[in-house]
Structure 1
């Protein structure tokens, strides 16, 4: 409520009037301030007006309606016409224990305006409560004087007869609503109402054919006591003739009860529109400005966007989004339908998943007939509007094998039909069939119209969930080929899959290939797309998007993405990309059974100099021989300090030669931090940022790279809350000294999949090498980190080879020629462990069916 503008705290000014309750009670409303404004009821002091009529409660039939008191309605109307929508000023004189407020109301912005109570008394519409009058109050004395003057002038209620003629004869129930409505629609007596165009011609057309003729009547329906029927003349149906001659238009609500066939009526109306006769003389068809090839065409369905839209590929190679005419997909009632459709997962909206799956299985990857019905114009949203903007939409009827997809969806209860205004011509060319299909679905209780419990789909999205992915990995590895549906294609080799049996979503990376990368938003700015990245993504989309495929999962990267092979109808997607010169073979494919096929496909693409090989130049034989001679295993061991060993047998090291520099840098940094302590929690870090955090083990500050598990750049790993993060001082950035905690894994050995077997190996490594100095040599690169060999600093014995000789791990046989000497040495160590029956070999050699189960369970 607006604060008082006068020294008197009981005076309120510049208040808008909101409602007049009676001749002596009003409601005022304050100005809105971030929400609905407050309201107050003010009762006029010292006066009384008649009470308005009240209807008896229907729950109490023994009570009767209360009629108006004389001049009660006139007093309320007098006040309403004077004040409604105006600003008033009022004073509060009395406030009762029940909260009712009494005061004086003035028209205008201050108390100099017209006194409302005085005006009512002066017009004889109110009486003065003289029992509360004080003689020394001039305002109250004036009210008495005005009442005496009204009595003398016989105004209002002081007229002879007491005003009985002012009591309204109210009726709360209308006995014959039809007559009442008809009486309100009588034409003016002077006949000034103008007839609609062609009304006289239509009347003559009907009269000349039916008046006083023998006809046949078909009674179709009787809604709201109005009889609907069809008149059949020996020479034809008058309804169809009126439509065909342009004297009438089809009415949707009554078409459903027309027993002669609604398609005949639509055909008659269509004929009149095409000929532009009578009421259709200015008619313009929704697709009038389109060429025939654009109105009707054949296209291949590439994607089902929702239950009412598909992406198709035209013969020209262009992609186009087509919306199914006149239907609405499933949505959640009470929420913004466009928000539901665009931003909510399809699994969360009842029957949306079923609708999408119905369309996907029917038409994905197939050619369909498209007939454009209308173009829905683009809509733009203003700053105050809550409706999002939409681009122009092409709405069409899509058929395959003579089946209307929209009609099939509606008949299954997977979509509803949109209702239009009668003059809205932008609708499906098969609108009546859609209405009939919906009526059948409602009658049979299908889909959205079912009274059964709504189906619930609990789908877990484990994309990027590293811990969940780790738990799921062994299951997928053992499963061999698993069924999946490609939900989304991020790039040529990166996809999102839906696993039906497991009801989960995963991110899947194609194994064995190196696909061109698209543009990405990196911390340093936007990374430019590599050549042919868009072509690779388009190729993958056309081949597998929303198709049922089979996947073989081999491994997982550190971000929780699964890596493996994807097959569709006998085609290996990795091989297909390589054969079409849209990808290169990655060295990790060497150990797979698809390696020869990949190399063969790459060689053929290279010879064709196609796409990514367009600028490829064959090296001379001398250069190739020279490179092969140079590619030998290099043993360049350097001293490192092993700082941590993970549960997955990865380990982190720190270079010994930079240790002194690191210690000096850390001492200087900590001294500066001690002098100017950072404010914990004030820093909003992002994934991949370098910052500092307080390490719980010693209370010191360290630099680390922010991730799910925070890896300290110069030492350890720990999970820290965001409140313990702070920005790194500029003088001590990673440009001064690069990250020292580097991740590696062992070369030439397999990591046991069984947790207990792996834990034994990790415990042995922790005892032997953690927090000790070793010698490290990089053997080859890997998917997540380099593969290396470690030697004990004193004995120079190979740590990995020692594990093999102790029978704790198996050898990972590499095929690279320059590594064969090391592989042979490791295999000899494995044979010695077998002979001695150590650890995993204690029951003798593996059987064939045990080899794949290494690290899980050994049979006696």
Structure 2
């Protein structure tokens, strides 16, 4: 049956029946000596034995046959005839073997009136006369294989193959994920365990009997029916502890992924790392089986099964980084929620010193904790992130050596497509938690986290560095009057300086961390006093004043963990006061003020006009190489500065592919996958799959050049991990022209595209980002030699109209473009050849009236 056929039912594999061919005898194949019996020896092939087996294997495996039973011995062995096809009119297999000289006829039991036996004798005589097979000259010693049952150094053997696919025949299936394979052409007989997965097995009891785990027999048959005695290719990927791990590739599919998809296997972390075909595919296949609750997952309950979809995936704004693995976010509903990053552990310190030292401050005293917090703070505070809940960690009580933990929502948090946990781990600022194999409460991107940690260890980043641990000596002068007095003159002389708001006590009382001075100070906002919150006092609990919570929440949302500027005022010997934060506060406080001053009647005052300085246009042109011009008038460029990195990557990647060519047809493209594609020039390039219509029509986007192509899947292969976008991001960046309108008419637009292609495609230019468009940045681009503006040239030639922008800092550029447009109108060039007309007419007719 084909490898991609329908899976068998779960009632167990169908019964097997062994049929021995009547009246003939073929040579015995080689057998290894019985293990544990030193008196036995390996038995070699008899001449032509392997060839006879191969003749039958290639003719019969996977085919439908018909058989008849002529004799059944007392021991239950059955002898009969086998025919290829549905009935006895098909090819007689015994006849074919004898005719090819691959079997002899048992003439001692021949009866003269048996036509089948008489025909076999006649066929044997013809084979002898034609000197076929075993009847050929030489005796057949050249047909005896040099079998190799052991490998002296299996690790070196596997490494020497460089993960190159080798031809093999599957000789035996021990269970669904362990097989015995004959490696060709050197006839190594090796046991191979499938990388990344494990099927239910057959446990051997003390009395020698085997008891199958649930679905063990079904999994074994699933693999047997697809691979046993099939021609395959095997990628030997690793050899830890004398166990050879590999991936078996069949022209019709990958058995590893199929076992997972049909619920016959589960992913295994320890061998997943060596799987070369993409660990994410295995996770996706396992996830599919879990969702359908098939076979070993029939009782599976997802970690987030009790959550609504809106609670599983949502967008939220990061308000506070609590620790190096947790943050407080604000939902669209206004609710606050604490999120923990899935499957990672922040930096920590071992031992009991931290508990004995009352001055212990985890943020500053735990190595790399401050760096980890700062990384998250700078990336996330005030930003909107995508949150995907992976699991809910139940609350736990305190143990003998473990503290109590409340319930935790653990999630994958991304911003701009970047997994924050993966970024944190890759910098060595967190480690990955190791789980029991059956523990499903883990990150949905667990393999990427492990890979990131491996890179960090290899490169000696952060926690894995052999350098001295960074020490943060931070002086806390908050609440200490004498130190505050001594420190105030220094702050006053310093004038304006930078700080980070570490804590908000109330709406107007904050704690600042000053990185330049490496100290913590408490201060009050100058000129205002917010309602006080409840707090413990010597005489008892002080009741909170009205709107104190609202004031504190407002200040938290505005400045907590933000970088602010402050200037120092004076000190009243109890605290440092009169610090002014240079933060732009909009009319957002209006609602709060309305509540606090609900009964206040304000006196009229003279209007104060605040003059703000308008920002200037920034002309920061950089060198780029234009690689592709699209029909939409968008274009793609590569930064010249990183061009050398791309060339080096492409050269190394192509050398590796040349030494280890991909198996044609082994890659199954899926939308969104990164891969490599063979272009028309015969070279391989990095690409992304955008659409799969059929195996013959796969739409790909070349991520380093910006062009698109429709190719058959045979021209695609998995991207080697060393050349993924994690090591070098996609080099093609999409842009559009600033200050110009795109013609709606196809012919008019084609004229503009042709003009641009001739001028700048495959040339080095200078590019400056002017403003952000709906899909990509809009830019001005200059010729590399003359520094002339390309877009302005299109306007001067009357090929496009000006897109008038309202931003004040762009008005000088807009004016220059409009003046050029007026010149084109006066000269009646191209779209202006019929004189002036309204912009809405231009849109309607595509500049062609």
State the TM-score bracket (shorter-chain normalisation): 0.3 to 0.5
Tell me the TM-score normalised to structure 2 length: 0.46
Which structure is richer in relative contact order (CA contacts within 8 A, separation 6 or more)? 2
Tell me the TM-score normalised to structure 1 length: 0.45
